[in-house]
A and B are shown apart, each in its own frame.
Chain A
């Protein structure tokens, strides 16, 4: 029986207060950006808009969607993400399943071979020269193949299989004449939906958010992912003229341009995060329960 003493209640109240404060600190910048993206920049830039939208306007979004770079970047990033995740899952899941199989000769050294790459690497330059020697510079492959798997995700998946797929069931299926291939596709994968969802999210976020690989390997703007166009707008402060132009008017006042440039920045941040905002709540519940538990026991 659990008794709730006075001390317990004080503790609960303080603890909830602490976490509520923490949540506000984390949430505030995100809410601010959403509000700023639909507020009149005059209020935003002078600090008069601090939480709720003021002087409602959707001009920022209109201008962002008027920019062909953003559309191209969106399309490219979607391609890198979908193709990348398919490759990631095809490499990670079978490998993790095999490593989870007790009694497989060579299992330990193979796991060590993979884990070692988490702690030591050749470095940026040898990696770049390899991709160059393979003739992948300025191709889609440069963003897909060097990121085909990650050691940590293989280990997390292995532990998931170890703790969620019962060995007895596998043995029973084997006695009934079920091959390892069949077992994996017909029995194991349908039982591993939580793992697949979380792995797809982890890898997918990596592909969607990555800019550095694209920065070093790609020079053709037609292949740029969204993040590189975002970098131009947000960090290098280069805002395409299509976005700044007012209809046919080329001559827009300098002050007006700065004002709109800020609005575009807030809007573009939201646009970039949109796919993640949509997917995240559905996958989030699997993080702790479904997947991470295993990685601790590992």
Chain B
């Protein structure tokens, strides 16, 4: 009996523990990855995924030449760059919370800022719609009280991306800070004591101890963020979409949903989805390689 099979036999109960998860990930994650081959096929419901005929890259070509290609790519990229520009917000919030010495105030800030994370996208979208309503919303009441003209935020394409990104920031700025707070808690307090004896002030200690201390976490989260670069929170986008803001709000995933599931163009939209996921994965690999040079990487 080899050492390996002895090890496996000794731990058989551990493999029983692993099996539900392995079955789950195989069926609901790996089979769809294999099923993504319909992007290269002409899917027919009768023949199914495996029986449909191969047609190569036709679906991809159709997408690259379609009217939507430029629009979808532009909106997807703009929304993501906008979000990425706000990446440091949660870091700043974490650094600020970490400096608080009064425990009760610290707990209060955490309790409040984490809370919106748990609100559903449907309710968030509902909140946005009632707050920004041109005739009954609080925002326009304020604008009018200050002597301005009411703005129909939700039907103006120019406002869509700000509404989407800033409401997301409101919802997740506190939640995003948790992981940095955990990293800050792991910094050796002796570093701060030594720096204080040497006369370093608060700012110097934040910049020379806290930020370098959480840098590995920052890099990893940044890479993870880029790895889902092309994935926008399309559930919220879909809820906030209307015919008037579509030119600014249609992104790759909403297009896949609408043309794919609602109009049953399975192969065509599977190709768009695959294009999206391959780009994401390529971005992740590239930046993870860069991150590895600094000694931090995902694997």
Measuring CB to CB, which residues of chain A are less than 8 angstroms from any residue of chain B? 2-3, 5, 7-8, 11-12, 15-16, 18-20, 22-23, 25-27, 29-30, 32-33, 44-47, 50, 90-92, 94-95, 97-99, 101, 103-106, 110, 112-115, 117, 119-130, 133, 145-146, 148-149, 151, 154, 179-181, 184, 205, 208-212, 216, 227, 230-231, 233-235, 262, 265-266, 269, 272-273, 276, 280-281, 284-285, 287-288, 292-293, 295-297
Contacts and interface: CB of A to CB of B under 8 A. Distances in A.
A184 B17 contact: yes
Contacts of B114: 284, 287
Nearest to A45: B136
A8 B120 CA distance: 40
Given A25-B170, A47-B144, A296-B182, A211 B120 contact: yes
Contacts of B227: 119
Interface string B60-95: 000000000000000000000000000000000100
Contacts of B276: 123
A180 B14 contact: yes
A70 to B, nearest CB: 13
B191 to A, nearest CB: 14
B138 A47 contact: yes
B4 A105 contact: yes
Given A112-B299, A123-B273, A216-B261, A129 B35 contact: yes
Contacts of A287: 114, 178
A181 B16 CA distance: 9
Contacts of A103: 7
Chain A interface helix/strand/loop/mixed: helix
A187 to B, nearest CB: 14
Contacts of B105: 16, 19
A125 B14 contact: no
Interface of B: 4, 7-8, 11, 13-18, 20-22, 24-25, 27-36, 38, 48-49, 93, 96-97, 99-102, 105, 107-116, 118-123, 125-127, 129-131, 135-136, 138, 141-142, 144-145, 170, 173-174, 178-179, 181-183, 185-186, 193, 196, 201-203, 217, 227, 235, 238-239, 253, 256-257, 260-261, 266, 269-270, 273-274, 276-277, 280-281, 284, 299
Contacts of A205: 118
26 contacts: A8-B202, A11-B99, A18-B96, A23-B109, A26-B174, A29-B131, A104-B14, A112-B299, A119-B281, A120-B280, A121-B29, A121-B33, A123-B277, A124-B260, A126-B273, A128-B260, A145-B28, A149-B25, A210-B120, A227-B122, A233-B126, A235-B125, A273-B118, A281-B111, A292-B179, A296-B179
Nearest to A297: B186
A262 B130 CA distance: 8
A19 to B, nearest CB: 5
B126 A125 contact: no
B102 to A, nearest CB: 8
Given A2-B196, A125-B270, A231 B118 contact: no
Contact of A124 (B102, B123, B253): B253
A296 B186 contact: yes
A151 B256 CA distance: 24
A284 B110 contact: yes
Nearest to B119: A273
- Scoring B96, B120, B129, B203 by chain A CB atoms within 10 A of each residue's CB, the highest score goes to B120
Across the A-B interface, the 6 shortest Cβ-Cβ residue pairs: A47-B141, A234-B126, A123-B273, A122-B32, A209-B120, A94-B17
A272 to B, nearest CB: 6
A235 B186 contact: no
B14 A101 contact: yes
Contacts of A117: 25, 29-30
Contacts, number: 275
Contacts of B33: 120-122, 126
Contacts of A123: 32, 36, 256, 270, 273-274, 276-277
Given A26-B116, A273-B123, A12 B101 contact: yes
Chain B interface helix/strand/loop/mixed: helix
Given A122-B274, A123-B276, A127-B28, 7 more contacts: A11-B99, A23-B113, A101-B14, A127-B32, A212-B235, A230-B120, A297-B186
B20 A95 contact: yes
A50 B119 contact: no
Given A123-B276, A130-B28, A288-B178, A231 B21 contact: no
- Scoring B30, B32, B238 by chain A CB atoms within 10 A of each residue's CB, the highest score goes to B32
Contacts of B178: 287-288, 292
- Scoring B21, B28, B238 by chain A CB atoms within 10 A of each residue's CB, the highest score goes to B21
Nearest to A106: B8
A127 B281 CA distance: 18
A234 B235 CA distance: 15
Given A114-B25, A122-B34, A46 B141 contact: yes
